Each structure stands twice: as C-alpha cells, then as structure tokens.
Structure 1
Amino acid sequence: MLSKSRKPYVVLVFTLAFALLLASCGQSTNHNAESSPSSSESLPSPSSGEAANGTKIYAAANGDIEVPVNPQRIVDVTAFYTGFFVALGAPLAGAMDNALANPYLKGKVDGVANLGTVPLPESILALKPDLIIAYKGTDEIDQLAKIAPVVAVEYGKLPYKEQMIEFGKLTGKEAEASAWVDQWEKKIADLKPKVQAAVGAKTVSILNPYAKGLYVFGHNFGRGGEIIYGEFGLKAPEEAQKAAIDSGTGWASITLEKLPEFAGDIIFTCPWSGDTSDPKIVYDNALWTTLPAVKAGNVFQLNPAADTYNDPVSLDAQLDFIANSLLSVKS
C-alpha cells in the first residue's frame, strides 16, 4: 500500500491523551477563571473573533458544520491541503510537519506552528484554533471538534481548481480563489498549444521506482500529473491510462518486468520517497536503459521532496519545469 495515503497517521495515544487533557483543562479552567483572569486576556480569543465575524453553515464531508465566516486561526492536519490556504492568504496557525517540509512553501509559512507527524491535542489546543481542517475518515474528528469546528475533506473528490474555490468559500477568500484560478488558466492557455505542438503524438509516463517495482501515476496524485494529463491533455500509454487514470485511483503499482508496457515516449521520474531502496535497481536495469525515452534523452527528473504535492503553490512552481521539459523534447 502507498505510504502516502493522504491520511494522517494516528496513534491510540491521541484519544487517551485528549480525554485526560480535556478533563484537566475543564478542572483548571474553573479554578483559574477567578484567580488569574489576565492569563486569558494575554492571547487573542477565537470566540471573540467568531462573534465579530459571525458564523455560517458549511457543507463538509462530515456534515453541515457551523464555522466562522472569516476564520482567523486555521489548523490544518491534512498535510496535503496546506498549500491551498497559503495560496489564499488564509491565516494558518498550525500545520503538519510534512506539509511544512514542502520546499515550495519555504518562506511562505514562517510563523506557522509545526504540529509534528501526529496532531497531539495539547499542541492544537495551545494554538486556540477557530477552524480545523482534516481528512474525511480521520478517527479523532469528534475529539478535534471539542477544540474547534472541524471541516473534513475527502481527498481527491474535487479537482484542484474546484477545491480551491471551495476553500475560498470556506475561509471568506472567494475573490482570492477566483483570482488564482483565472491567472492559472491564462498560463495554461498560453503554454498548452506550444506544448502540444512540441510533444505531438508522443505518450508521457510518470514513474517512481521503489523496492518492489515501480509506481505509475496518473492525473490526480501529484508529480505533475494534474498538469501533464489534466491541463495539457497529453496521452499516457494505454496500460498506464487504464491502470492509473481510468481506474480513478491516480496510481498503480507494477513489477519491473511490466515496465515496457507502461513507459511512454517521454518519462517524468524520481525515486519513490516512501522507502529507502536504491533506485539504481531500476535505473541501471536493461529494461530501463533500453527504453525509447531513455535512449532518446526524453527522461526528466522530478523532485521527490516537492513534486508529490498538488496544491496551487506547488503547481505554480512545477509548471515552469514541466512546460520547459516538454518543450525541449527530442524527436
């Protein structure tokens, strides 16, 4: 199974710690309310912000949720949606470690608290969020909802442009969301005919070697697939089309022996970031070195630390590399 399942890894200690923490907080709040009121006055109050902004009902994957009209302290525990909020200019208070590790977000998330690899309740409580974003199916949604309203999102249900518009509605940033989509579509409209003319009828594959073979990626699982297949309308090899795109999964796992069936005339590749196996097992194999794309020099190296992301910030950064690579394709 792909280790990058788009859901946070959760441990049992979260639930136990949460129950204990809420109990202790409830007791200490009653005692401290009279003895030290200044402790609550020294930090901004999410509840006062909500009162000033009002609330609205948002239709989320976990039901109709009452959320602030203009949230001021968003905590994102999804990792792979963080870049959407950065692109919107929405006020992020905290995010997961692997979200903040995205090189494309460098310099754009200064001051955002790092929640580590597991979203512990005391860390989230300390941030005083007024909105929490989580994946649909996250086990602790009910517990998180005791801290702040939780909007659950089903990963991949919406294409990224529609998801951007939805997050704009959620955060009161509709104008910013529409502006990003408009400028993105203008870039694509300029580049698409040039890319299609350069590529012609050639097929394109996205391949990641790993310990047991290769992952083949499609149109909605990062690594440039949204741009290559979705925006530029380029074709995958027939087997890759069936397994990674038509299936709706966005990816497929194949053995090395099947590589020639899934390899396109053009290949985008990088080692799989989910394990530590030596990619030379694939890259030095005759099945790889004799591929037409390899022999023609039409293989382009993705960044394994960055190109797994498919949020607006990451896509903007990927676009130049992907377009320039495709425009340089050799006949």
Structure 2
Amino acid sequence: MTTRTHTILRMKESRERSLSVNQTISWQTSSPMFLTSDGPVRIEMEGLQYQLNENDSILIRSNINVMLHSLSNEQVTMHTVTFDQYTLAHDAQNELVYKVNHDDLPDNGEVVKGSVMLFSYIKEMKMSQSAQEQVKWLEDIMHIFHHQSKPYTEKVHYSIEMILQYMAKHYKQKLTRRDLAYKMGFHESYFSTFFKQSMGLSVTDYLAQIRIDEAKKRLLQTDDQIQMIARQVGYTDSLYFSRIFKQKTGRSPSQFRNVRRPERIAAFQFVGSLVALGIRPVCIDQETFHHSDILKDQLAGSLIIDEHTPDDVFKSLQLDLIIIPNYFYSKPALIKRLERIAPVLVLPYGRGPAVQEVLSTGRLLGREKEADDWVKRFEHLSQKARNDLSSFREKEETVAIYEMRGHDKVYMWSYQARGAFYLYETLGLKPPKAIQEEVLLPNQHTVIPLERLREYEADHMFFIVGVQHGWYEQMDKRLEESDVLRQLSAVKNGTFYPLKLEELRFDEGERALHLIDRFVSRLTKTAYPTIVHM
C-alpha cells in the first residue's frame, strides 16, 4: 500500500482576555497558540521581548512561559486560539494512527504584522463552530503564518534598535520627530506612537535623557566648563541646559560633578566591572545577584535590592551613586524615583569586551589606576591561558558555546554574550564552520531547533543550561532521553561540558577572568566518555 503523509490541526481552546491599563498577566502554554490583540502589548518569553500593535499576531509554541503587559492607555482585548497538530505515524490497511507533531510549525515568536484578516480569524474562532469549520479556519491561519510571518527581529526590534543607534550617534545635532520619522521610513504620527510604546518616553524626552546622561559623563571625567559641556551634548543655551539638567536629576550640573570617586554604590548590573575596580557594591539588584554565583565571594555582604525596595531603605544606605544600564530608559518612572534617592549614572550595557568597559568605568568613577592595573592583570592571565592551550590549538579541534532554552531551542551566541568573545577571540579557539559563517561573521545571535544541533556541533561543546529550570541537575537524564544530544560526538567523547546559566549569563569585568579559567580548565583536562558536571 502506498504510504500517505497527512497533517491534521485540532482546536483545543479559544479565549478572550481583557487587560486594563498597564496590567500584566502570565501563563505557560501547554500547546501551541495563536495570539492577537486589538491594542499595543509587550510579550516577554524565553528571555526576549516582543511588541505587538493592533492587528499584529504571533505564534507561541508549547511549554513556553509567557508574560504579557498592556502598553495602552485604554483597555486592550487579547484573543488566543490553542491547538495541536497531528501527523500520520502509521498507515495500515484498516488503521490510521496519528501522533502529536509540532516540528514543522513556525518558530516561536514569529509575527504577522497588521493583517486584519488574520486578526479576524483568531478573534472569531469559537469552540461552538463545527469541527470541519474549525479545521478549515486553522488551516487558513497556518497558511498565513507560513507565508507572511517573519522572525520578530526582522521587523520591530531592528526598527527601534536602528532608531536608538541613530539617536545615540547624532544626539549632539538638532533632531526633530519629523526628521527621525523620515529617516527611518515612518509616518510621523505613527512614529511618535511606536516610539513611546517601545521606550515609555516621547522622542523629545528620550533625546533629553540621553543628552543629560552624556553630560553627566563629561562632568565626571573632565574639568570643562558647564557652557562647553552644554554645547557638546546639543544645547546652545547653557542656562536652558542647566534648567533641564536639574529638572531631570534634582541637582545642578555643578552639584552632580561632586560625585567624583564615589564609594557607596548601588549597582543594577555591571558588578563584574565594579569588582575589577576594587569596588564592592553596597547593594545589587536581585536579578544580577541571582546570576552572579561566579562572584559570590567578592559580593559577600552586599544587600540585595529590586525595583520595589522602599525608598527609606535606599536612603538609609547613604548612597553616593546608583548605576543603571541604558535599557532602563524604558522605565522612566523608575529612573525618576532613583534620581530622588542618589545621583544616577547610566552606562551602556553589552557594548564591548571587559577591558573596554573596565577602562571606561574606571575613568567615570575616578579609578583610572585601578582600571589600568586590572587590564594588566587581565592581559597577563589571558596570555597564560593562551599558552596553556597552545598544544590544544595545534590539534585544530573545534570549540563552541551554546545555550538551551525551553525544551527545543538552542541559542548560539555571537561576541556580545555568554563569554563567546573570550572563547573565540581572547583564547583564539576555532569554531565549527557553520557557527563561524552564520553566527560570528555576521556577529548575530542565532536560534535553532534542537533537532538541528548536529549541523552546528563542535568537537568540544560548552552547553549552558539553567539550574532553576531543572536542566543542570537532570543533565544526565536529559542526555539519555534526547536522541539528538545522545548522538553528539562531544557527548560520546566526554568533551561536552554543561555550564550553569547562573554563572554564565553575564561576562563583564572580573567575570571574564573566571570564565577564561573555566574554559581552560575544561579543555586541558583529560576527556572521558562520560558527562562531567562543573
């Protein structure tokens, strides 16, 4: 009998949720889901953020933790359709056997922008429809996704990133909303809405914020007069600059300049660079602390805080300075609140390797000597690490770093994350050809389904997994259960090295030295055909 291949879609649930202004909800998907909204919402899942505007739709795969936040000033209604996909597993003369199979679904987070038809399909699907009608609508929805969807980063993410990069480069110039909209290919009114929904600030307020933050750096690093600094950051009127500065920070430029060489620092991020400068933060945010196991000795005694820590607790610490990353620009209310507690310094996050960040942070905090001393130490230890790996490099075996997210997604990081820069550049190790061509040369993080991992496998594989999600402690079991992982040459040869996400998520400053040492110790240790936990 001729074998037949067939796919069947079955609807499991349709649901409508109303979100009030600024409301946040969360859930975990048990099956794949189509989601659409009649207003702007932000979705967070697998460590990434997505923004949907009216009539945008997104596909979310199964077993995904989803957090959704309304960005509208009015009530937003969200519509979801949960479904399963089955493929023919066995075709006998008198029996057809189907199994759940989601392999050929679009990737998690793929988006169809502005399709009124797709919005209508998802909104109108009901369990009361006949089974035949449900199948027909699901097939139509799937057809639209397969032919019109794009990975989210091809559209909105790159648009807002391009805008922010342009503003960061040209903030000294006269920038108007109209000019920016024109340069980025937006209609002016839509551009204003899109920007504020993305950043939480108007174009004017955002431009003022980055100008003031650049002025702060000049105030700390130079003795330039206030009038000169005002011109350097785009203000022709120094009195107007001083008024805006005090309005934003609660301090005059001269008062902020007194922050030079602060001792008592609160850190939202950047603790690796602070430790490199000999600074133990008075307090650090909970998220950073959770992923700082590798620095636990240097951070002993630091108070753990978060965005909801009461003001009186912050004030009791008598802070000289609060350091925050530039992605906090999307939290203007938090910045305003922190400015009332202590002077705030905004630093760019993830913009360069450890040496560059330590040097720039040292200049800002009046610790140039400490920064220079650390850089010499870094260069000495890096050279020693390269020497220790000289015989390893002669073998020309490939090395790569990966991260497991969820149950079926593998991230391959480019130079800006997870120690990849130190593995490939500082240590000079050779990546597999596919990773070199698709990840490192374009300098772009890449996500693949687990079943494609063998196309990118290396002779030595550093494999990052989260402790809190159970992956690390159950690694042996996961390897036994996964045909893909079990068949990797690195697993068979004992050159597969599980690493904790809680130690690898950040790689700045002093963390970089720990990571380099971790890489070298694993690669120079005798391999055994068993899984070695670090």
TM-score tier, shorter chain, comes to 0.7 to 0.9
Q: CA deviation at 1:132?
A: 1.1
Correspondence for 2:466: 272
Query: How far apart, in 2, do the equivalents of 1:301 and 1:123 lie?
Result: 39
Whether 1:83 aligns to 2:272 is: yes
Correspondence for 1:70: 261
Correspondence for 2:220: 57
Q: CA deviation at 1:216?
A: 1.8
Correspondence for 1:156: 350
Q: CA deviation at 1:283?
A: 6.0
Correspondence for 2:47: 3
SS of 1:267's equivalent in the other structure is strand
Which structure: larger Rg? 2
Query: How far apart, in 2, do the equivalents of 1:287 and 1:100 lie?
Result: 33
Query: How far apart, in 2, do the equivalents of 1:143 and 1:304 lie?
Result: 31
Q: CA deviation at 1:123?
A: 3.5
Correspondence for 1:221: 417
Query: How far apart, in 1, do the equivalents of 2:481 and 2:348 lie?
Result: 39
Correspondence for 1:170: 364
Whether 1:198 aligns to 2:413 is: no
Verify the 8 A CA contact 1:104 1:313 in the aligned structure 2.
Answer: no
Structure 2 matches for 1:120-269, cutoff 5 A?
Answer: 121-138=311-328, 139=331, 140-199=334-393, 200-211=395-406, 212-222=408-418, 224-249=419-444, 251-269=445-463
Q: Deviations over 1:260-297 (max 9, x none)?
A: 11211110113235745665556632222222222222
Verify the 8 A CA contact 1:71 1:91 in the aligned structure 2.
Answer: no
Whether 1:324 aligns to 2:487 is: no
Whether 1:109 aligns to 2:299 is: yes
Correspondence for 2:149: none
Counterpart code for 2:285:
M
Counterpart code for 1:316:
L
Q: CA deviation at 1:231?
A: 0.5
Match of 1:100 among 276, 289, 298: 289
Q: How many residues align?
A: 278
Q: CA deviation at 1:163?
A: 0.2
Distance 1:57-1:283 versus aligned 2 partners, 3 A rule: farther
Query: How far apart, in 1, do the equivalents of 2:338 and 2:275 lie?
Result: 22
Distance 1:232-1:283 versus aligned 2 partners, 3 A rule: farther
Match of 1:299 among 496, 504, 511: 496
SS of 2:465's equivalent in the other structure is coil
Q: Could you state the TM-score of these two structures normalised by the residue count of structure 2?
A: 0.47
Query: How far apart, in 1, do the equivalents of 2:508 and 2:426 lie?
Result: 14
Query: How far apart, in 2, do the equivalents of 1:87 and 1:57 lie?
Result: 19
Query: How far apart, in 2, do the equivalents of 1:330 and 1:220 lie?
Result: 29
SS of 1:145's equivalent in the other structure is helix
Q: Deviations over 1:71-96 (max 9, x none)?
A: 12211122xx1122122122522111
Verify the 8 A CA contact 1:196 1:234 in the aligned structure 2.
Answer: no
Q: Could you state the TM-score of these two structures normalised by the residue count of structure 1?
A: 0.73
Q: Deviations over 1:110-169 (max 9, x none)?
A: 332211465554433332322111111311323322322221122111221110011111
Query: How far apart, in 2, do the equivalents of 1:244 and 1:113 lie?
Result: 38
Superposed CA RMSD: 3.1
Verify the 8 A CA contact 1:297 1:330 in the aligned structure 2.
Answer: yes
Query: How far apart, in 2, do the equivalents of 1:183 and 1:242 lie?
Result: 33
Q: CA deviation at 1:100?
A: 3.1
Counterpart code for 2:494:
G
Query: How far apart, in 1, do the equivalents of 2:311 and 2:397 lie?
Result: 51
Query: 4+ residue stretches of structure 1 with deviation over 6 A?
Result: none
Query: How far apart, in 2, do the equivalents of 1:306 and 1:183 lie?
Result: 21
SS of 1:320's equivalent in the other structure is helix
- Consecutive unaligned residues of structure 1, counting only runs of 5 or more, are 13-54
SS of 2:350's equivalent in the other structure is coil
Counterpart code for 1:107:
D
SS of 2:288's equivalent in the other structure is helix
Distance 1:56-1:319 versus aligned 2 partners, 3 A rule: same
Query: How far apart, in 2, do the equivalents of 1:69 and 1:240 lie?
Result: 44
Q: CA deviation at 1:307?
A: 2.4
Q: Deviations over 1:280-331 (max 9, x none)?
A: 5566322222222222221122233212231333222233231122223769
Distance 1:309-1:327 versus aligned 2 partners, 3 A rule: same
Does 1 or 2 have the higher relative contact order (CA < 8 Å, sep 6+)? 1
Query: How far apart, in 2, do the equivalents of 1:311 and 1:244 lie?
Result: 21
Counterpart code for 2:411:
Y
Distance 1:4-1:308 versus aligned 2 partners, 3 A rule: farther
Q: Deviations over 1:13-47 (max 9, x none)?
A: xxxxxxxxxxxxxxxxxxxxxxxxxxxxxxxxxxx
Correspondence for 1:45: none
